[in-house]
Amino acid sequence: MIEQAGGGVLFILVAILLAVLAALALYEAWALLTRRVPITWFARLGIADHPRFCFVVALVTGLLAGHLLWR
């Protein structure tokens, strides 16, 4: 019973995460089509201002994704 209840919460969290990622992708496409500032521009500015911090974030994200997907 505990595993099933936890799985339901995890399912909802994954669904919300995928919905947010889809919304961000749609906004990026819309911004590129309408010549507005896309999200990637802000990422480039952040990388230019704080390269070490961005490297650490990318490293930790890659390690966590690799750990979770390796199974």
- Shared-domain flag, residues 11 and 22: yes
- Shared-domain flag, residues 28 and 3: yes
Reported confidence tier of residue 56, pLDDT bands at 50, 70, 90: very high
| Per-residue pLDDT tens digits for 16-31 | 999 999 999 999 999 9
pTM, two decimals, is 0.65
Average pLDDT, the chain: 90
Domain boundaries, position 26: 1-36
Angle between helices 39-49 and 2-33 (to 10 degrees): 100
Our count of domains for the chain comes to 2
Write the CB contacts of 27 (distance below 8 Å, at least 6 apart in sequence): 38, 39
Reported confidence tier of residue 32, pLDDT bands at 50, 70, 90: very high
